[in-house]
Chains A and B, each alone.
Chain A
Amino acid sequence: MITTDSKERYLAAYKQAQSHAPKRAPAWLNELREAGMASFDQLGFPTTRNEDWKYTNVERIAAQSFARANGEAKRVSAGEIVARSLIDPAAPRLVFVNGVYTPELSQTAMLERGVVVRSLVDFIKEDDGTAAARLGRYASGRHQPLVALNTEFLKDGAVVSLAAGCRAEQPIYLVFVSTAGSEPVVSHPRTLILLGAGSEAKIVESYLGLDGGGYFCNAVTELVGGPDSVIEHYRLQQESDTGFHVGSLEANLERGCHLTAHAVSLSGALVRNNVRITLNGEGSACVLNGLYLADGKQHIDNFTEIEHLKPRASSLELYKGILSGSAHGVFNGKIVVHKDAQKTDARQTNKNLLLSADAVVNTKPQLEIYADDVKCSHGSTIGQMDSDALFYLRSRGLGIEEARSLLSFAFASDVVGRIKIDFLRARLDEYLVARFGRK
């Protein structure tokens, strides 16, 4: 019922947007949106009957009507963004407010040679051919309703493109800020990351909710790793307590490409992270590194899917969650090893620490293996704080709260330790000390 209503609402919004849209939009873009619209109209919002959404009910998102954001950026300052997020104020960045590029909050002057960082709107104006060839090619909305919805309303976002052999030293920050307006708003930022052969980049997507109002951020990132490229990709989630977030990273890795995809989720009312990685070249490798913290009534779902298509590729996945209050955490780790993907090495671990009796975790490994010469392993744990460890610390004089805080911090430490941007790791450490300290 709600699904039908919401479908009609989005369809009406789409028609309205298209009728107001300037006719200058290229034909390919209109076709892409049209395809997104058709897919979403067919799929609608997923229900818990959909196996991939079994533990995450998005009815709260579907039931609400959101206004399309118009980029009201005046109330947001760079200082506030830096203070509230974990970003490095000295590094290059693009800032989007409610999905709309905001040049006055961005800084790109210090970009290195061979590195292109643009808003999607500007990029399409400059390089229509690349955008037409790449957008929508890796993130398909045909089976994924929220990707379809993003594509239907595809307008702005970020493009990061590195020329072959270009090694960017500086991390590049893409900051997506949601602010409450007079009514709840929705944004559908779309990001395209293109890495030429042998290039190296560190890219941080930071999602930040300011103010207390309701909003829905439905982000999609398409990432293409060229042969032998090395990418550190980060997604930092700091949505507000009333914010809904669905984010999808769709990565396609070519031969010898090495991707480390970090997902750090620190807040948000309902958060769903989709990470889909296609190991589409021999010897390609991905490391998935996740940390999720939830308390109160927050719901955080990490859905990861790794497709091993080619031989000798590896995937190493570690996701850790700390849940308190009556928070609900979900982890789904799907690994598909296709028939040609011999010598695959896939390892997956999910560990959860429950700090309260009412917190819930659903963890589900899902391995499908069609090749015969592979190494695959998975393991998951859900546990409470180790009472032996707690007593050990208390027997040395640490108060119970301090001991708990130290053990929570310790639990997260290996995931945090894998963050290779020093500034970011230090900021996250500070954040965790403060967050665990106040409990």
Chain B
Amino acid sequence: MLDIKGLRARVGAKEILRGIDLHIGAGEVHAIMGPNGSGKSTLAHVLSGRENYEVTGGSVTYLGNDLLAMSPEVRAREGVFLAFQYPVEIPGVSTTYFLKAALNAIRKHRGLEELDAMEFLTLIKDKMQLVEMDQVLTNRPLNEGFSGGEKKRNEILQMAVLDPTLALLDETDSGLDIDALRIVAGGVNALRREDRAMVVITHYQRLLDYIVPDFIHVLYDGRIVKSGTKELALELESKGYDWIKSAVALAH
């Protein structure tokens, strides 16, 4: 589904991704771990088309197409979804209104009929149960005054409604207490599907107790330095990131 080859990207003069190679197949859940500043969030943003990052090398092929040539909105319409680490607050636009506009933009792109207000309401109500969200919240301005947990649940709600093919979850666990984490992870697990891939980016092993990945990659200094299965997370948990850092230093 997604083929990343030798991907390099920078912000200003600073090179953050220094040659990423990654293959993700349909139905797989990959976790990307790594210490702060290793390039995890940059990878997520580059994949979703954030303009502050300049891609300086490599390629990304998504469902056979050049992902990097697409605008952020086209990527979204083609099925790429990014759950933000810091969801943006937008006063004056309700989640319901915004999400209906987004879904219809995606449906239009795919040649599907746009949903009317009633059809959309039925859909969103159904998806809200998944993340235990109240309608009061979705009628309020998007993320404005939401708690950390509410914002993250709102991200997963959006994911459920927009029904992506490739979901990128950027530090979805940050700022969540254990109850919120359980709800969010439960929502994500319910959305696992054979034709959908997920990339879970996290600093901590904790999230992976709830969302069990098929593969784990350790990102350090802009490169994937170690890949493995879920046992790798436990090893990281017990040895810490210093273990990776010194291994990399040794290899040089």
Contact = CB atoms under 8 A, between A and B. Distances in A.
A393 B98 contact: yes
B93 A406 contact: yes
Given A391-B51, A393-B98, A400 B90 contact: no
B118 interface: no
A6 B73 CA distance: 55
Nearest to B159: A396
A409 B141 CA distance: 12
Interface string A365-407: 0000000000000000000001111011111111110110011
Interface string B42-54: 0000001111100
A160 to B, nearest CB: 33
Contacts of A394: 49, 71-73, 76
Nearest to A396: B102
A409 B75 CA distance: 25
Interface stretch (A293-301, A354-362, A410-418): A410-418
Contacts of B8: none
B73 A397 contact: yes
Contacts of A387: 51-52
Contacts of A396: 76, 81, 98-99, 102, 105, 158, 162
Contacts of B48: 395
Contacts of B82: 395
Contacts of B73: 394-395, 397-400, 403
Given A395-B48, A396-B158, A397-B77, A402 B101 contact: yes
Contacts of B71: 394, 400
A154 B93 CA distance: 45
A395 B49 contact: yes
Nearest to A391: B50
Given A397-B106, A400-B73, A392 B101 contact: no
A397 B75 CA distance: 8
A432 B120 CA distance: 24
Nearest to B168: A395
Contact of B93 (A388, A397, A399, A410): A410
A389 B77 CA distance: 18
Contacts of B87: 392
B92 A395 contact: no
Interface string B90-117: 1111000011011101100100000000
Given A395-B49, A395-B72, A413 B91 contact: yes
Contact of B92 (A388, A399, A400, A413): A413
Given A391-B51, A396-B162, A410 B90 contact: yes
A403 B84 CA distance: 17
Nearest to A412: B92
B73 to A, nearest CB: 5
B105 A389 contact: no
Given A389-B90, A410-B90, A410-B93, A397 B50 contact: no
Contacts of A398: 73, 101-102, 105
B88 interface: yes
A410 B142 CA distance: 10
A397 B109 contact: yes
B88 A406 contact: no
A325 B58 CA distance: 39
Nearest to A406: B93
A386 B158 contact: no
Interface string A409-439: 1111110000000000000000000000000
Contacts of A386: 88
B100 to A, nearest CB: 11
A400 B51 CA distance: 13
B1 to A, nearest CB: 19
A397 B73 CA distance: 4
Nearest to B161: A396
Given A391-B72, A394-B76, A399 B84 contact: no
Nearest to B76: A397
User: Which 7 interchain pairs have the tightest Cβ spacing?
Assistant: A413-B92, A410-B92, A397-B76, A396-B102, A394-B72, A392-B88, A397-B105
Interface of A: 386-389, 391-400, 402-403, 406-407, 409-414
Interface of B: 48-52, 71-73, 75-77, 81-82, 84, 87-88, 90-93, 98-99, 101-103, 105-106, 109, 141, 158, 162
26 contacts: A389-B90, A391-B51, A391-B72, A392-B84, A392-B90, A394-B72, A394-B76, A395-B49, A395-B72, A396-B76, A396-B105, A396-B158, A397-B73, A397-B76, A397-B77, A398-B105, A399-B105, A400-B71, A402-B105, A406-B93, A406-B98, A406-B101, A410-B90, A412-B92, A414-B91, A414-B92
